[in-house]
Chain A
Amino acid sequence: MKYFNLFSSVLITKGASRVLISDLERNVSELQSLDLYNLTEDLKLNSIEDVIKEYDRDSKEIINEYIDFLLENEYGFISHNDWDNSFNPLSFDYDSADVINNLFLELDNFSVLHKIRCAMDTIDIRYLVIYSIRQLSKEELEEIDFIFENTSLEGIEIYCPYHDQMNDSFISGLSDQSQRIYKLVLYNCDNITFSTNENLKFSLEYTKDHITIKNCGIVDLKYFNTNNTKIFESKNYNSCLFKKIGIDIEGNIKNCPLMPDHFGNIGNTSLEKVLEMAGFKKYWNLTKDHIAICKDCEFRYICTDCRAFTEKTHQNKDGLDTSKPLKCGYDPYTGEWSEWSTNPLKEKAMKYYDFKIDK
């Protein structure tokens, strides 16, 4: 008798109409039919011969093709006489040493950065994401980096408007001086006055579009990540808000700068106190398995959630918004993507958030 063993590092996520096979060794995911999921479940309980004999002659060929597919893609292996019990199942428990993984700041005044710097003496913040509404000079960008010199902050990501002084020497000079900036995104970039250089210490992206902070929350294939940390986090915690802290343009401390609830102002409250406040962590444990529609989606563990903009259709018994993210155009029941902003079913929520409705 032959037995099929699925590798522990292969995660099959069942959706309403398809499955997603995620290979956590190679960090790739691929879509397959629900039949494959049913087959892998059968193969966990029965030998290959026993599974095949349950099917008629035509189907047997298909089952053999599926098993070949699983072997050729190295999703599993065959053992004889019994399943190979040498391989323990992968634990999906997740924990991280960071107190705060990322702080999302809507920047207006540099004094907020100094307050964050002071907070870092007692709490570790791993990444800082800055959205600036105003243009930043080279000196100001360097100052942002300099403020966090010698701290445990690992990286800084900055979104700011493009301006004419941003030429090659501006960008390369910033790359030479900066230590922690790993990503710089320039918006309103109509006329490029710099060449893209691969030797920069940070990734440089630009767009001619005017980006506002309200653009955040887009759900798209390009933002899906297949890696252990991402999937383990998504299975246990909210994939956007877990260990996230936000500060809006007025200094209000929130779960995300785009969410309405705030827990004090950076001017008179410390980040440490906010972390201890009742309700601050209420969304941290809300996984995609408890969000309407998302719980039936095969992408739920590789996708990043959004609680700032939702369809506002569901609420759980604790009063948490468990509606599908507004900016997701995927329907897991049909397996089709469509433009979210033109979906008539989302109009009510779009009006609530004051989004422009495209017809």
Chain B
Amino acid sequence: MNARGRMSRRELLKVTALAGGGLMLELSLNRPATAEELSTLLSSRELNAYIRIAPDGEITIYSSIPEMGQGVKTALPMIVAEEMGARWEDVKIIQAPIDESRFGLQGAGGSTSIPNNIGAMRRMGASAREMLIGAAALLMEVDRADLDARDSRVVHRSGESRTFGQLAALAAEQPVPDPEMLSFKDPRSYTIIGTAVGGVDNLVIATGQSEFGIDVDVPGMKYASYTSCPRVGGKAIRFNEAEIKGLPGIADAFILAPDDRAGRASMGFLNGLAALRGGVAIVGDDSWSVFEAKRRLDVKWDTTGASDDDWSRMVEQAKGVARKGNGETLAAGVSVDEALADPENRVHEAFYQFPYVAHVCMEPMNCTAAYRKGQGGEPDTLEVWLGSQFPAQVKEIAQNMLGLAPENVIVNPKRLGGGFGRRAVHDFATEAMAISHRAGVPVKLTWTRPDDIHNDLFRVGGFENMKGAVNPDGKLAAWDQHYIGFAKGGKPVIGSGLRGNELPQSVMKNARVRQTMVDVATRCGAWRAPGSNTNAFVEQSFLHELAVLAGRDHVEFLLEQMEPRRWVTEGNVNALNTGRAMDVIRLVAEKASWGKEMPEGSGQGMAFYFCHAAHVAEVAEVTVDADRNFRVDKVTVAVDVGPIINMSGAIGQVQGAVVDGLSTMALQQITMKDGVIQQDNFHQYPVMRIGSTPAIDVHFIQSDNPSTGLGEPALPPLAPAVTNAIFAATGIRIRSMPLSAEGFNLV
């Protein structure tokens, strides 16, 4: 029987869309009855995933989104398995290849993987379930209304059942259900969603078998290092070529000229970032040889027009801008000047600053590239292996820089040894591709840790000058926020400036928000919760300052700003909902025993923040000694991101965000002098160690709102919760990060 002949118009459309690249679908439709290895294959561009059921009952679900520790490779298939009625133990997860014509956007960023894909995953699972039930109805000769799918079986109300494996071949011949007509399981009957499931790769990770980008080994492969100009925008003129080439284990060394073509990106926020920087490539027999040769490099740089950024100068400049007090007005407020001038009101002004910080993913940036000349009129091809948050971007780079058609470029996605926004940009892949193209051999380019820090796309630093007034009743009367940040080509860099959804201006009328942008050459990029991770520190600290000024309890003062319960943008379920905010604030206060008696030198601090559709409140408890050594004893977190998919993954993300937030605010700062990044390695740019880890108590409000992402939003409230707690413990207000530069040592 011809499967195509029985398809509805809609299904025919799906097949048409897949015929060009959907090899697996073709395979399945052409021989569903043979079923040696594949019995059922559902596939759709719209559904954004694959399910395969083998005759032995093994269910394979393809995960199309990159995994970097955020848990998506486990969470998304859980949704599919739940809806189809599979037993989790029967499910095998495979990372899908990179082909956005088949899988849709294969990217991970902005905590969007769950909200963007949950609907498609549910439809995929429900479609499979209906096809399996359809097959069972035929096979068992019963009414499909009397059938139910559970535990990887279709069960009749009489108790008779068939396994998914037994049904797979016949299910493949069932019509694919119309997505509009699908019904979904009652969440109360869930057996997988909401439970705690371990990461699907835990075994291979714990036994050292997991393959990250850096572990790729290709036949004939050489190893490469790249040294780009320490000042952004510079290029290499000459280097000690003869000496380098004469070193043991070195095969080749050459200059690469800057190439902006590689930077062109269709995803606007990435535009320009993956450009090839001018520098020197070294190719050799092993990583150590090329690293040693790199150490001996002596390069004459042309630094005409290169970065001369200087952090100390930036700080002075920002203070000058703050004194002048003008800037682009984003929100005018109602009567801010009047309230600030009113002698009845108490008024307060404070200058905050936050540094540039690096990503320092534990796996340094790396990429393996094999450029192959086409033989006998065949086109040249390129194969690339890397960990990437947006792997399809690599095809764009190859097309723009090397003129390769996308179909002649194969991208092999590998597990990411950390992302945090760094692996959204593929400048390291640009370098590997250019080196392989020039050297004519496959190369694995590995950045040393200093390369990884110097060439990072940093979380942008910045400054905010804050003014506020509280009236005689202790209520917030005016909020005046002036952001001084950084721009390139007249456009704020990622994470710099205000978007208008920050607190409290989004909930109060009398808020004025202005910003001034200063040009910067230093490369900036997305860093876990861009913008939010610094704005939360300033806004939630200053709100606490005003609560103190008003003589009010911080929680009470914060709750007051949220009244009444409402969506700030009506009809937008991704907007701030002040009711959800109040609920997490109250819950965290209750769970942390807010206001309890604290010993001398200890204090509680709290902060709330909203970003990525998530409402998160945190209470930190700190102890500070006379020498300003401090430890964070405990952090209590309350989160509303709607229903949780994987409870274990969710708790892990929150714990990790708390540790990351603490590590960053306490210890980390990148500075530039004459355009050169001053930190080389972990001895100058430390990461928090295990001994400083607080107890972390995580609570979820599983509200009846759509499930949204949790990779980022638990990080922003941490810093202000800690500095507010230090104020409570000592009376010292910290308005600048990192705390180590303010004389506070995390122990």
A and B pair up: no
Residues of chain A touching chain B, judged by Cβ–Cβ distance below 8 Å, are none
